[in-house]
Structure 1
Amino acid sequence: MTVAVQLAALAVTAFGLVAAAVVLAVERRLMPALAVLLDFLIAAGLLRLAAEPAWDAIAAAAAVIAVRKLVTAGLRAAQPH
């Protein structure tokens, strides 16, 4: 089970890279692409946490979520009102 979850997390990370590249190519803006990538990285981190809950994995997932929140705040602030 652990190997399957680790492979799934790796696949989610790879799909995230591809999706971010597509968003970057279509939008021509870095912030939306980064937001998409971070969403996929959060998903991969949570999958890894499900396989082996360790403090370093929890810290890594929390760090990615914090960065995602900052990127979201930056995207909202950059939008014209």
Structure 2
Amino acid sequence: MRSGGFAGIERRAEADTAEDPALEALVSRSELESLPPRREERRADDGFVYEIDLGGRTVTVGESQLTGPLRELVGHLLKG
């Protein structure tokens, strides 16, 4: 789920790696286990917060923590 932004609109996406081979590769590279806990950061009113659940492990990251493979994963899920 992505929340925040200028209008405060939430976007949700759900996918299954069994049905999306590209997703499986992105999940394996996302390195969620190495993410530090989300730090409270001063963010612009239009900044986003992402809640990501992969196989029962949920992390919440601010937009500044969304880099590299994790950014690719979120982009893949929220496309369209």
Structure with higher RCO (Cα < 8 A, 6+ apart): 2
TM range (shorter): under 0.3
More strand by share: 2
Give the TM-score normalised by structure 2: 0.27
More helix by share: 1
